Amino acid sequence: ETGVTQSPTHLIKTRGQQVTLRCSSQSGHNTVSWYQQALGQGPQFIFQYYREEENGRGNFPPRFSGLQFPNYSSELNVNALELDDSALYLCASSFQSGTGSTYGYTFGSGTRLTVV
Amino acid sequence: AQKITQTQPGMFVQEKEAVTLDCTYDTSDPSYGLFWYKQPSSGEMIFLIYQGSYDQQNATEGRYSLNFQKARKSANLVISASQLGDSAMYFCAMRDLYNNNDMRFGAGTRLTVKP
């Protein structure tokens, strides 16, 4: 089975620009979660998508938005980039059953975003 | 609110020896899961071991074991027979099993295995 793939691996953007990061979930998984990991810190939950709808959100402003597609892949969009948005962005896929139980997360290798 | 604390920013261990990485947590939820992940320099978070709050026995996965002390709210990771490839960042994480869309991570511990 294929794992979680993220693209691009590295990205440099200018403050004020917009960026789109992409994630292909693991085969058989229907849920995608996005995390921001600043240098030297643990990952922080941004949001989760299940059945193409946002299914929970962390403490991030509305300029962080996302999409999930019918094939369960996902995009993270960040508008009006700020210097503090520089981080590793991790995508994790999982399978959520109809009863709401969620099984293990599989993480991708991340996209390293640098805002200058 | 849930909180994960890892008090060891860095740890050193001699190859072939065992090492314990500390993790304490705080939650008011009765049902939760505890996870340990390894993050090499490549960035990918690699799942190591899982412990459910109602599990009676400590989890083990090969060279990894989790020392779960529920009353103390601690979930320490023990790595036996350390290998050079174990050098990486290690993160403890927790998720409420009912509100399962938010996994919270600690700040991590950088483990260095010396030859």
DSSP B69-108: ETTTTEEEEEE-S--GGG-EEEEEEEEESSSTT-EEE---
Q: A42 to chain B: nearest residue by CA?
A: B107
Residue A100: predicted pLDDT: 60
CB contact under 8 A, A110 and B44: yes
Which of chain B's residues have a Cβ under 8 Å away from the Cβ of A40?
Answer: 107
Residue A28: predicted pLDDT: 86
Tell me what the mean pLDDT of segment A12-17 comes to. 98
Is the pLDDT assigned to residue A6 strictly greater than 70?
yes
Residue A101: band (very low, low, confident or very high) from pLDDT cuts 50, 70, 90 = low
Helices and strands (H and E) in chain B: how many: 0, 12
Which of chain B's residues have a Cβ under 8 Å away from the Cβ of A90?
Answer: 43, 45
Residue A13: HSE in the Cβ half-sphere, 13 Å Cα cutoff: 25
Q: B103 to chain A: nearest residue by CA?
A: A45
Identify which of A82, A94, A90, A96 has the alpha carbon closest to the alpha carbon of residue A108. A90
Is the pLDDT assigned to residue A30 strictly greater than 60?
yes
Percent of chain A with pLDDT over 90: 78
The torsion defined by the Cα of A36, A76, A96 and B88, in degrees rounded to 10, comes to -30
Residue B12: band (very low, low, confident or very high) from pLDDT cuts 50, 70, 90 = very high
Q: Please name the helix (run of DSSP H) or strand (run of DSSP E) that holds residue A77, with its range, or none.
A: strand A74-78
CB contact under 8 A, B107 and A42: yes
Residue B16: predicted pLDDT: 97
Identify which of B33, B20, B25 has the alpha carbon closest to the alpha carbon of residue B99. B33
